[in-house]
Amino acid sequence: MKKRIHSFTDDILGDLDATGIAELVKNKELQAEEVVAATIARAKQVNPKINAVVTDCYEKALATADQHVDGFFAGVPIFFKDLALVEGLPNYYGTAAFDGAKPAKKNDPIVEQILAQGFVNLGTSTMPELGITCSTEFADAPPTCNPWNPEYSVGGSSGGAGALVAAGVVPMAHSADGGGSTRIPAACCGAVGLKPTRGRILLSKMFAKQIVEIAIDGVITRTVRDTAHFYGEAEKYYHNPKLPKMGTIANPINRKLTIGFTGKAAQGNGADAQMTAHLHEAVKILEGLGHTVKEVELPITDELMEDFKYLWGMSAFFMKKFGKSLVQAPFDPSKLSKLTHGLSDFYVKNMFKTPFFVRRLKRANRLYDEFFKSNKIDVLLSPTMTHGTPKHGYLNMVAEFDEIFPRMEKWACITPFCNATGAPSLSLPLIHDEENDLPVGMLFSANHGEDGLLLELGYQLEEAVGWKGINS
């Protein structure tokens, strides 16, 4: 019996993606106000079941919808992750420690870059506490539920974004990725999630303060073309001169690639038997399209994984110690979860290693470049996560740190590599687990600046295989 929760109906939105909606608004076949009203109706229908919205601004969105006439995505609704500063909305960062937060006085740079494309903001979406874990669960509130099956995790930390897109509320939602936080929820929810090359897009204010630049904003979508159009339009607003221009990628790859694949990470972690089988399904699909696929060894050393864990802990420490000044909001660290306290304590014990792991992480991009050159590959294929999406509770925020943290690092040990290196990485819902009726994400990573290559490959895979829709 299907347990899926979604809002796809025969309303004016149907199963249109953001590009499809934008085209109808542009051609005046739909009015932006109609689109927003239908989206709000969908949100009200499913959000009580999936718990993906933090704060809404529905009335304002309705009142101003028809003012959004400029930009490629004019009139298309969107939600922002609850860490981005959006004028007039408070930020809670997924924790009760920021209870009583005041509305932001101005938009983050990334919010301006997104709104410049014509999007209509409907509010903020859920994230786990401070974005430090990969499942959107809370110590003091119900979890954000996976629309494919509410008993399962939606991933994280952009869990609300993934849930809203998968459930058909919005075709695109803002996300952010500091260790897999765009790609993991995309994989859990059967969506498309690109972590772009470092510097490709403007950042939230919180990310601008990073000691090591690992986190970057993005979007979760249902289609490759929506992701491609988003980054093409974002580039018109801001282009980093250090990166090659990408433009709007509109067509599938027209050449054969050499693709390396692996299911192994560091510290003995890697894909379990079921995920390994799914990985080999993906290999067969790529070979069927004429690409050369060969097994490689991912250069994630045990030391590099430890370095990322120290950085993970350092982020928790700084938020615990300086949270009030960092986010300019009322802050009670006693309300932080056991996981945050545990991560902070882990860093304190290893604080003396800070200059060494920071230096190594900043040099990780060189290791990555050499990996691509030495293996003579264009793209790297791996599972997005090492095993299937877990049920709620497996990564909860109430259990002891020593119990939960090893589970986190085992499940999400592949995605952080591209955060450390700054390289682009794209999760696609290429495989479907028929037994559990859950999507399975496959991760495609490329060298720095090759975001367009990943999107071209994404187009080809989407065209050749397609993704199983939640409303199918």
320: left (phi over 0), alpha (psi -120 to 50) or beta: alpha
CA distance 259 to 317: 39
| Residue 134 structure tokens | 């990969």
The tokens for 321 are 């110690």
Establish how many alpha carbons lie within 13 A of residue 177's alpha carbon, considering only the half-sphere containing its beta carbon.
31
Please identify which of the residues 125, 153, 175, 181 carries the catalytic annotation: 181
| 153 a catalytic residue | no
Given a contact cutoff of 8 angstroms between Cβ atoms, the answer to whether 299 and 336 are in contact is: no
330 contacts 354 by C-beta, under 8 angstroms: no
Q: Which of 221, 162, 168 is nearest to 38 (CA)?
A: 168
175 touches 188 (CB < 8 A)? no
Looking at 157, 158, 175, 445, which residue is catalytic? 157
Residues 6+ apart with CB under 8 A from 394: 135, 153, 407
Residue 157 among the catalytic residues: yes
Over its C-alpha atoms, the chain yields an Rg (Å, rounded) of 20
Q: Is there a catalytic annotation at residue 181?
A: yes
- CB distance 429 to 190 below 8 Å: yes
Angle at 128 between CA 124 and CA 3, to 5 degrees: 85
CA 29 to CA 437: how far, in whole Å?
Answer: 36
Catalytic residues: 81, 157, 181
